[in-house]
Amino acid sequence: MSFEKLGLSADILRAVADLGYTHPTPIQLQAIPAVLQGGDLLAGAQTGTGKTAGFTLPILQMLSARSRPAAANGKRPVRALVLTPTRELAAQVEESVTQYGKYLRLTSMTVFGGVSMVPQVKQLARGVDILVATPGRLLDHMQQKTVDLSGVEILVLDEADRMLDMGFIRDIRRVLAALPAQRQNLLFSATFSDEIKQLADGLLKSPALIEVARRNTTAETVAQKIHPVDRDRKRELLEHLVREHNWFQVLVFTRTKHGANRLAEQLTKGGIPALAIHGNKSQGARTRALAEFKSGTLQVLVATDIAARGIDIDQLPHVVNFDLPEVAEDYVHRIGRTGRAGANGEAVSLVCVDEHQLLTQIERLIKRTIEREVIPGFEPDPHAVAQPIRKNQNGGRGAGGGRGARNGDDGRGQREAREPREPKDAPRGARQGGEPKARRDGARNERGGRSGNGGGGSSINVGNVGQATPQRQQAPKRQGDAQRGVAQGSGAARQGQDGRQQHGRGTPGATGAVRGQGGGAERGDFAQRGPRPARRDGAGGALLMGKPKRD
């Protein structure tokens, strides 16, 4: 069947023909008529099957055929809202809207983080028919009241499974609460999981159900292969494969952002042009890397799972799993970057002994055994012992919820796993090993703050004497100062031989003199210390002195 029989307008058909498309894909063949009927839709299709056109084409058809609503408060409301998990996918969807709707009088734009809000605010003020957005930045505009969602007629959740994996469910619910109750809901997903069905139950009303391929299957046009190799020879094997087969446009997946950076640098030093994209990269750097990769000037693009969502390159020939993903479903997403729209592709995985369990989970998911091929010269050590794989912090399935999990959304990418820090409830100035760091009252402490009570005359909190830190003895300017310090002690806490801490009284003539808080004596960890030398107050003023208690 051709596009002409799907009920699309002549202007849309002309734009489709300009792009060289003549026959719809299976998902388009089923989704376009279902959307045009005006009901809700739940569609599951593997990556690369043309899901984007499956909803953009009918949306353009319906909005262009309907009269545009009158502007409220001088602002034209958004008529169709498309939510995506990443910036790259948002840009891809909006590009499709622009291409398919170039002969229509409809406006569209993208809204995502990592860039200034000012141009977005100005464009939203002029009015937008189709808005493609990531949840985080859209919420920013909602809080600033720079976007009007009261007139949304059609809502699309694209790559809904990935949005759930990234913890966007709370953000999605906040967006849904701002939308009108009467609207058409379309849910598209690369995988068709049970979690997606649960989301659909609360969102969709009697939806049409489309499942083009069996859930979690891989395209038959993708040739999959496993190359067993030792973990410390993966990069060497990757360089060998790229050079031996003269590969260009190679998309390589790593498990972490740090690993992506390191691999890209090593490949470049080895003479293979490579760049990395991930959530910590600026939007400009990601856009430039994708542009170079699509144009063919960049040989290798190293990416994390989330950053690669939305990469849409016609006839991408090679995908390499440098690290196997921790979540088996991500393997389907990864290799779905190649073999798109019926083209042939190759997916190669470099697997070390640490990843055998991950490989088993992947093969169980896709219900097939992937071919193994050992490359001569890179035979793995049969006696190698598996090492545990440290859990990734890139926002995979089960990662933290809400806006804190926005890895590809607005530039606040999640941090790599790092060494444990000192506990927050440790005494101030305490070192990791437990040995206290000495500091002066009123002086800058180790964290750059000012100790003491307000920065003037210092005092000791008698309710927390046991938590106090020992004082650092100041180097006296004159010998007499040191002698007076030993004889008189400081104007802060004093102690006797019985271990009781006494609060001294400052001399009448001294400014900022310290008074004991609460009076009386307190037991504390000062009991075993000798008298402290005289010191100046926190403001560098008068010498604080007091007579020691004598029994």
Number of neighbouring beta carbons within 10 Å of residue 56? 29
Find residue 82's DSSP bridge partners: 132, 156
Q: How confident is the model at residue 496 (pLDDT cuts 50, 70, 90)?
A: very low
Phi-psi category of 297—alpha, beta or left, where left has phi over 0 and alpha has psi -120 to 50?
alpha
Q: What is the pLDDT of residue 213?
A: 59
Segment holding 236, helix H or strand E: helix 234-244
Query: What distance in Å separates the CA atoms of residue 5 and residue 451, rounded to the nearest whole number?
Result: 77
pLDDT at residue 378 greater than cutoff 90: yes
| pLDDT(299) > 50 | yes
Q: Which residues of 320-343 are buried (b: 16+ CB within 10 A; e: fewer)?
A: bbbbbbbbbbbbbbbbbbbbbeee
* 440 Rama class: left (phi>0) / alpha (psi -120 to 50) / beta: beta
DSSP summary character for residue 394? S
Is the pLDDT score of 379 beyond 60? yes
User: Residue 327 has what pLDDT?
Assistant: 87
Give exposure, 344-369, as e/b (b: 16+ Cβ within 10 Å): ebbbbbbbbbbbeebbeebbebbeee
Q: Is the pLDDT of residue 175 over 90?
A: yes
| Residue 413, phi then psi, degrees to nearest 5 | -65, 155
Q: Which helix (H) or strand (E) holds 269?
A: helix 257-269
The domains found in the chain, sorted by start residue, are: 3-211 (3.40.50.300), 222-372 (3.40.50.300), 419-551 (no CATH)
Is residue 454 left, alpha or beta, with left meaning phi > 0 and alpha meaning psi from -120 to 50? Answer: left
Q: Which residues contact 294 (CB under 8 A, 6 or more apart)?
A: 313
**CB-CB contact of 273 with 242 (8 Å):** no
Model confidence at 82: pLDDT above 90: yes
Taking a C-beta distance cutoff of 8 angstroms, is the pair 275, 302 a contact?
A: yes
- Mean pLDDT confidence for 497-501: 43
Has residue 233 got a pLDDT over 90? yes
Question: Is the model's pTM score more than 0.75?
Answer: no
Q: For 275-279, 352-356, 496-500, which range has the lowest pLDDT when averaged over its residues?
A: 496-500
Q: How sure is the predictor about 214, in pLDDT bands with cuts at 50, 70 and 90?
A: low
Which H or E run contains 157? strand 154-157
Position with higher pLDDT, 201 vs 489: 201
**Mean pLDDT value of segment 140-152:** 94
* Band of residue 39 on the pLDDT scale cut at 50, 70, 90: very high
Q: Are 15 and 101 in contact (CB under 8 A)?
A: yes
50: tokens are: 């043309």
pLDDT, the chain, mean: 76
Do β-strands 501-503 and 521-522 pair in parallel, antiparallel, or remain unpaired? antiparallel
| Residue 402, pLDDT score | 44
Confidence at residue 2, expressed as pLDDT on a 0 to 100 scale: 84
Q: Position of tokens 């063919």?
A: 296
Backbone angles phi, psi at 277, to 5 degrees: -130, 135
Taken in order 60, 62, 66, 69, is the CA torsion positive or negative? negative
Lowest-confidence pick of 39-53, 111-125, 470-484: 470-484
Residue 384 pLDDT greater than 80, yes or no: yes
What pLDDT, on the 0 to 100 scale, is given for residue 342? Answer: 59
Give the residue among 485, 468, 486, 484 at the shortest CA–CA distance from 526. Answer: 468
Task: For residues 505-515, give the mean pLDDT.
Answer: 42
More reliable by pLDDT, 438 or 110: 110
| Cα radius of gyration (the chain) | 32
Quick: pLDDT tens for 45-59: 766 678 899 999 999
In this predicted structure, what is the pLDDT of residue 90? 93
Number of C-alpha atoms within 13 angstroms, CB side, residue 333? 27
In angstroms, the CA 4 to CA 485 distance is: 97
Q: Which two tokens stand for residue 448?
A: 């750059």
pLDDT at 522: 39
Go through 127-144 and write b for each residue having 16 or more CB atoms within 10 A of its CB, e for each that does not.
bbbbbbbbbbbbbbbbee
Report whether pLDDT(512) > 70: no
Does residue 242 register a pLDDT over 90?
yes
159-185 per-residue burial string, b: 16 or more CB within 10 A, e: under 16? bbbbbbbbbbbebbebbbeebeeebbb
Distance CA 536, CA 513 (A): 10
Is the per-residue pLDDT at 162 higher than 60?
yes
β-partners of residue 302 are 252, 276
SS (H, E, C) 274-342: EEEECCCCCHHHHHHHHHHHHHCCCCEEEECHHHHCCCCCCCCCEEEECCCCCCHHHHHHHHCCCCHHH
Residue 44's pLDDT is what? 81
Span 264-289, average pLDDT: 91
